[in-house]
Amino acid sequence: MTALANENVQEDREFSMDDAAFKTISEAIYKQAGIVIDETKRELVYARVVRRLRALSLPDFESYAQLLQGANAVKESKDFINALTTNHTRFFREPHHFEFLQNTIIPYWKKRAKFTGNKRIRVWSSASSSGEEPYTLAMVLADAFDRGEGWDWKILATDIDTNILNKAKQGRYDDLGLEEIPPGYKARYLKQNDDKSFIVNSELKNHITFNRLNLHSAWPIKTEFDVIFCRNVFIYFDPPSKKSLVDRFAKTLSNDGWLFLGHSESILGDRSPFKLVGRTIYEPRHVERTI
């Protein structure tokens, strides 16, 4: 959109948003969540943040920008971040990832267990949005491991957005969102409600812990993960943030683990601690597999 077109849009708008207010908002979301918002996202910022102006009865974006710089900034932070995150997701999104899990990783774990007795599996869905990704992982893992063979598997599902996490915890989805789920999984792990919505059964839910976690803050994580999903969130971050995250993932992943990114995301480079083993699937550069 040209500058002129932008101005015209502004004239018709209920609230004004001058350059300084836009700059303050984009700097604040970068500082708080690592999300990069450039000039081309002005309309998006307006459409998302206008809800906060209405909720707080503020007259314009300039007042909201002042709030973000004042004493109440910390109190506003959660709602501000929630307004600006993009949560699009789907069950079995990028199905080749789940095929790799099923056909390569799970057989490896089963073989490894025969040699080492290790039946403990930890998976992290690190930008889990409304839950479709961790529940998909859970369906595939439950199918492989819930047969009374003593497997101990758990999924940590985290996201920065508290509203979307609440939705994820409920595990309730309308029928439109479920088309991608193979019928066998649907019958086993979802229950249909009277209003046509579905709810994930407690057998799956019991394997998942949902928590708020900002990828750019401290990670209160003590465990080493066998698999980390960090899909379709790197696209919002700049190169230095991505590099720092990749190094932190390398430290959090076991030596024989796998890291999954989204379809348009790549972390390769001379000094990357990972190498590519499948479409946006990585393993540690110096992988140590026991079998």
Ligand X SMILES: C[S@@+](CC[C@H](N)C(=O)[O-])C[C@H]1O[C@@H](n2cnc3c(N)ncnc32)[C@H](O)[C@@H]1O
| Cα gap 97→42, rounded to integer Å | 34
Asked whether position 244 contacts ligand X by CB under 6 A, the answer is no
Q: What minimum distance in Å lies between the beta carbon of 230 and ligand X?
A: 7
159 is catalytic: yes
Asked whether position 87 contacts ligand X by CB under 6 A, the answer is yes
Asked whether position 133 contacts ligand X by CB under 6 A, the answer is yes
Site for ligand X in 184-223 (CB under 6 A): 214-216
Number of residues that bind ligand X (CB under 6 A): 24
Asked whether position 93 contacts ligand X by CB under 6 A, the answer is yes
Q: What minimum distance in Å lies between the beta carbon of 85 and ligand X?
A: 3
Catalytic choice (42, 93, 122, 159): 159
Site for ligand X in 21-60 (CB under 6 A): 33-35
- Mark the segment that binds ligand X (CB under 6 A) among 42-50, 71-79, 88-96, 251-259: 88-96
Mask: binding to ligand X, 149-188, rule CB under 6 A, as x and -?
----------xxx--x------------------------
**Residue placing its CB nearer to ligand X in the complex, 201 or 244:** 244
**Residue placing its CB nearer to ligand X in the complex, 24 or 232:** 232
Q: What minimum distance in Å lies between the beta carbon of 275 and ligand X?
A: 22
79 is catalytic: no
* Torsion 23-26-30-32 (CA) sign: positive
Q: What minimum distance in Å lies between the beta carbon of 36 and ligand X?
A: 11
Q: Where do contacts with ligand X occur on this chain (CB under 6 A)? A: 33-35, 85-89, 93, 127, 129, 133, 159-161, 164, 214-216, 231-233, 236, 262
Residues acting as catalytic residues: 48, 159
